[in-house]
Amino acid sequence: MSDIERDPEPPTFADLDIDDRVLKALSDVGYESPSPIQAATIPPLLAGNDVVGLAQTGTGKTAAFAVPILSKIDLTQKSPQALVLAPTRELALQVAEAFGKYSAHIPGLHVLPIYGGQSYGVQLSGLRRGAHVVVGTPGRVIDHLEKGTLDLSKLSYLVLDEADEMLKMGFQEDVERILADTPEYKQVALFSATMPGAIRKISKQYMHDPVEITMKSKTSTASNISQRYVQVAHQRKLDALTRVLEVEDFEAMIIFVRTKQATEDLAERLRSRGFSASAINGDIVQAQRERTIGQLKSGALDILVATDVAARGLDVDRISHVVNYDIPHDTESYVHRIGRTGRAGRAGEALLFVARRERHLLKAIEKATRQPLAEMQLPSVDDVNAQRVAKFGDSITESLTSDNLALFRKMIEDYEQEHDVPLADIAAALAVQSRDGEAFLMAPEPPPAPRREREPRERPARRFDDGPPTRSRGPEGQELATYRIAVGKRHRVVPGAIVGAIANEGGLRRSDFGHISIRPDHSLVELPADLSSETLEALRRTRISGVLIQLQPDSGPPSGRPRGGRDDRAGGKFQRDRDSRKRPRE
């Protein structure tokens, strides 16, 4: 492989020989100069070279491959010219959205995301209409290839995005199968955070003398960002956050959580407590996302609750605080999250909520960033109440300049004379009225309840019958049920392949999985007990190593035969391995 040196002073986008229509779209979205990965990658891709880009998430990789592809696309060819493979549906949607933004001034260009969890009808109609760019997850791309609904015979450009993540999720066979179905002479771009042997093998087998571009990982954090943490139990995080919001002097804030559902839930709870909050996640349509970010920039919105994927590329100068409501499982995510504050040389504040059992993640963050986090004591009830009194006084001072003051003064004086009530009592009554029945001061914390000794209870005997699936509890307390899938040792499946396929097609996180037990001709997998019927149907059609898994609830072995066996020990080992992995998927 040949190497390319990075220019410490990257050129502007106008210097990179980009198509004028794409250049105008970049200007529309506010891009002024290329990031290092973009400046290094766009020229060789425009020149027709294969490229291997080693860079972390959040460095601007999407534009690095989308811009040159769009600059060379041929609108007269209706069959797919570019295929982008992504490990998750969230990333596939994000990449497709980016292609849409960058092609805003190329009329007639069609971009189609295809991923598990979406109905085939939408994807089939999009393929029939003609898609110039297809962005998909490996499993669903394989499905369309087997159905004959996706024609890659005229493919000119292939991108493997987050290739190492795809391999970790068990998609290596699928990726190689897709590569084998594409024309020999095509331009390939491979992006990965690391270069394991399997990635090196793919680059040697399917790429022609690629240019290799390496961007060093940034694990250090900006010196103008103050970093603190609060140790707080999970069930008390909302109360802790409320106290921080009441006492901290912030201009705008991003609160990071792990899941899409959590963004909506937390934003709704904050709104009910009187805060101006909104959510963004991978399910929110682009128009609504842009409207929400516009409100954050203008000051109409103060708090944004987001997932890592939804916040990528977000750049708003007035964000003074970042709160990690859910601690990230990898240090890169932490660095990218807190990098949303402290923009343009301004001071920023980063706060991390840590449960006692998550202390090891805090230590990993401190080690990777080489910067200790200061422990912060939560504001007390007295602190919160003092702040409420101060804000009440400020609101009175501000209202004294109102144009309506003379009108209301006359009304109050008339009321005073008519009812013979002191002015102070009238003002107090109006303040009570403005609270709409809500208490003004926070109530003192009740003393901790004395601990009671638990009485021993008899554990009911475990039953194995033909009833509902057996249940257990996951590491985050969610109820898990055992499901049976029709692949096992003879299919040479490994736990990573099972997790990758089911997580991708069902929209699950790695932390949604419990024990995995791989048997000779089938496997048992613990998944959330409340899976929707749509998710179950999608998972029944999922393939692992080309085999339909036919997922169904498992009710346990026949009566009188224990479930345990040698394979169960493998499941327990996977549970421990899974718990030690760093980053859950959304």
Residues 224, 365: contact at Cβ < 8 Å? no
* Mean pLDDT in residue range 541-566: 68
Average pLDDT over residues 243-259: 89
Which CATH number goes with the domain that contains 475? 3.30.70.330
Identify the CA nearest to 470 among candidates 482, 459, 478: 482
Q: What is the CATH number of the domain that holds 302?
A: 3.40.50.300
pLDDT at 460: 43
Report the range of poorest mean pLDDT among 187-196, 377-386, 486-495.
377-386
Give the pLDDT confidence score for residue 42 in this predicted structure. Answer: 94
- What percentage of residues in the chain have a pLDDT greater than 70? 83
Q: State mean pLDDT over 345-356.
A: 88
Same domain, 276 and 374: yes
For the chain, the domain total comes to 3
- How many helices, marked H, and strands, marked E, lie in the chain? 21, 22
What pLDDT does residue 471 have? 59
Q: Where are the beta strands (DSSP E) in 225-275?
A: 225-231, 253-256
Q: Which of 317, 348, 382 is the last residue of a domain?
A: 382
| Model confidence band, residue 56 (pLDDT cutoffs 50, 70, 90) | low
133 and 202 housed in the same domain: yes
* 392, part of any domain: no
One-letter amino acid of 189 = A
In a domain, 356, yes or no: yes
pLDDT at 584 over 80: no
Residue 77 and residue 552: Cα distance in Å, rounded?
Answer: 43
- When mean pLDDT is compared over 40-44, 53-57, 170-174, 281-285, the highest value belongs to 40-44
Terminal Cα distance for the chain, rounded: 35
Domain ranges, residue 14: 2-214
Nearest CA among 129, 137, 123, 86 for reference residue 109? 129
Average pLDDT over residues 118-124: 86
Has residue 318 got a pLDDT over 80? Answer: yes
For the stretch 410-449, pLDDT in tens is: 888 888 888 888 888 888 888 777 765 566 676 676 655 5
CB 473 within 8 A of CB 480: yes
Mean pLDDT lowest among 41-45, 169-173, 193-197? 193-197
Amino acid at 358: E
Instruction: For residue 406, tell me if it sits in a domain.
Output: no
Among 382, 416, 433, which residue terminates a domain?
382
- pLDDT above 50: residue 85: yes
Q: Of the ranges 477-486, 501-510, 574-583, which one carries the lowest mean pLDDT score?
A: 574-583
377 and 480, same domain (yes or no): no
**Residue 116 vs residue 45, higher pLDDT:** 45
The whole-chain average pLDDT of the chain stands at: 81
Are 341 and 372 contained in the same domain? yes
Same domain, yes or no: 109 and 237 = no
Q: Range with the lowest mean pLDDT among 164-168, 212-216, 439-443, 545-549?
A: 439-443
pLDDT at 52 over 50: yes
User: Are 511 and 540 part of one and the same domain?
Assistant: yes
Co-location of 527 and 499 in the same domain: yes
Same domain, 10 and 30: yes
Residue 451 pLDDT class (50, 70, 90 cuts) = low
What pTM was estimated for this model as a whole?
Answer: 0.48
Q: Residue 581: which pLDDT band, with cuts at 50, 70 and 90?
A: very low
* In-domain check, residue 171: yes
pLDDT class of 7 with cuts at 50, 70, 90 = very low
pLDDT band at 8 (very low <50, low <70, confident <90, very high): very low
232: number of Cβ within 10 Å: 17
pLDDT for residue 99: 95
- Tell me if 527 is assigned to some domain: yes
Question: Is residue 579's pLDDT more than 90?
Answer: no
pLDDT score, position 474:
58
Asked if 22 and 70 touch (Cβ cutoff 8 Å), the reply is yes
In tens, the pLDDT along 460-470 reads: 433 333 344 45
**Beta carbons of 329 and 361 less than 8 angstroms apart:** yes
Least-confidence region, from 187-201, 491-505, 563-577: 563-577
Name the pLDDT band for 217 (thresholds 50, 70, 90). Answer: low
pLDDT grade, residue 186 (50/70/90)?
Answer: very high
**Is there a domain that residue 268 lies in?**
yes
Residues 230 and 209 reside in one and the same domain: no
What φ, ψ does residue 157 adopt, rounded to 5°? Answer: -135, 135
User: What confidence score (pLDDT) does residue 567 get?
Assistant: 41
pLDDT higher than threshold 80 for residue 30: no
For residue 412, what pLDDT is reported?
Answer: 85
* The predicted structure's pLDDT at residue 450: 57
Per-residue pLDDT for 216 more than 80? no
Distance CA 403, CA 231 (A): 47
Shared domain check, 333 and 199? no
Q: Where are the alpha helices (DSSP H) in 299-404?
A: 308-311, 331-338, 359-369, 381-399
Mean pLDDT of all residues in 217-238? 79
pLDDT > 90? residue 353: yes
pLDDT > 90? residue 190:
yes
Count CB atoms within 10 A of the CB of residue 543: 17
Task: Based on the fold, state whether residues 286 and 183 are members of the same structural domain.
Answer: no
d(CA 372, CA 352): 12
Q: Give the confidence band of 313 by pLDDT, cuts at 50, 70, 90.
A: low
What pLDDT does residue 140 have? 92
Position 6 confidence tier, pLDDT thresholds 50, 70, 90: very low
**pLDDT value at residue 585:** 41
Last residue of one domain, picked from the residues 184, 214, 244: 214
In 463-560, which ranges are E strands? 471-473, 479-485, 516-518, 523-528, 543-544, 547-548, 552-553
| Confidence grade of residue 556 (pLDDT, cut at 50, 70, 90) | low
Report yes or no on 440 lying in a domain.
Answer: no
Please name the helix (run of DSSP H) or strand (run of DSSP E) that holds residue 280, with its range, or none: strand 277-280
Same structural domain for residues 176 and 62?
Answer: yes
